[in-house]
Chains A and B, each alone.
Chain A
Amino acid sequence: MLAYLLRRVLYALPIMLGVALVCFALVHIAPGDPLISILPPDASADLQAQLRELYGFNRSLPEQFVRWIWRAGHGDMGVSIASNRPVATEVFTAVGNTLRLAVVATFIGFVLGCLFGFVAGYFRNSWVDRLASMLSVLGVSVPHYWLGMVMVIVFSSQLGWLPATGAGPGGSDNWAWDWAHVQYLLLPAITMSVIPMGIVSRTVRALVADILEQEFIVGLRAKGLTHLGVFAHTVKNAAPTALAVMGLQLGYLLGGSILIETVFSWPGTGLLLNSAIFQRDLPLLQGTILVLALFFVVLNLLVDVLQTLLDPRIARA
């Protein structure tokens, strides 16, 4: 098992390098000279040459890549063009806010998804099952940015129960787990939770249906185990996969929060990306995407490791 875990960790390294390469390439596939977007339009040729030297754009691409990786590895991802603050500072503040949103959303989605999935898988082909299947199709089909708008319309504009946008009195830097702040988190988190809910319930339903057909369940039933006992065995067998799906969903939400954050003006990585794109702030764009993608790789790794620890059969496969 140790060998498997080690192999899994080693396997993540080239992936990380590849991710870094894609992020590096982003600036170079952008139309036009990357320097032009950094410079004011009336910059002198002298200044251009100076900056070219500073950013290393006059070197060969491989050399630039190595230098960029080296600096990024030391936490230096350049300076945002728009705010002139270090990209790393900007990104890490935003990641905190997005993480808060994504964790709450994943939690809601996981709990509800497991509930629906278990019930549907347990009472397969009953009306509960059909209802749960319908809900999960709705969950994966709804354009979440639209759902966000509808939530704002219903709960803010019509009923006036919850605030529509922003992250509360603390702004983007000061968060507290009190009602004054949490009320701002509710709508975006609920909106976001719909996607993992649909996917988790689909997965859990299939898992439970699969497990219930296996011989050991028949054996347990024959032995006279109660429904609750059989249920416990089912949960135990479904848990590793369900947890793995949850971990992956957290990663997708972290990276995919841009649309929801835009709707709710939630000051996370999504909003940061949005402003970076429209201000053509390439270093900020590159840095945000690098951090999010690496986060996703590490999360994938953790999920795999956790899954192996919970279910040692995987390592032997």
Chain B
Amino acid sequence: MKVKSAFFFVLLCLALIISSSSCFAQVSTSSDLLNNAKQYDGKTVNYKGEIIGDVMIRGDHAWLHVNDGSIAIGIWAPKTMIQDIGYVGDYHKKGDTVEVSGTFHRSCSEHGGDLDIHASEIKKITSGSSVIQPISRKKVYIGTFSLILVLLFYALKKFFQSRGDTSRI
């Protein structure tokens, strides 16, 4: 009986640990954060997404923006925390995907009321990459063909105008 009770007790403890750790690691979406900003204000949140735009260094900190596929939120992080960042997303690159853990501010008193997250940890989930976009042959053909067509049309117009033959038009 004692063994059974001890077994159930251990199971219960394990369940509690697993559930509490999954609560901590629960990732909030931008829509969650913006729609429930008051509830999240000042709380520690986990937010995951792609780094986009520019990393703006300000003294010993930096601003970066993490887009979770819907909205980009500003992250204020110490410079030491962003050294691992290799790619920042734009037209030419897919940015690193990171998970940010930090304090969410609905209206940050340190940053003029901006909605932001002050990062306490930034974990790189996947590394970004350069996006190679080969020149589209189809676009080259259509572009060249349409340009020739326009030039021919212009020449034709000039030709008829120089002959003063407007009856054909």
A and B assemble together: no
Binding site for B on A (CB under 8 A): none
Interface residues of B (CB under 8 A from A): none
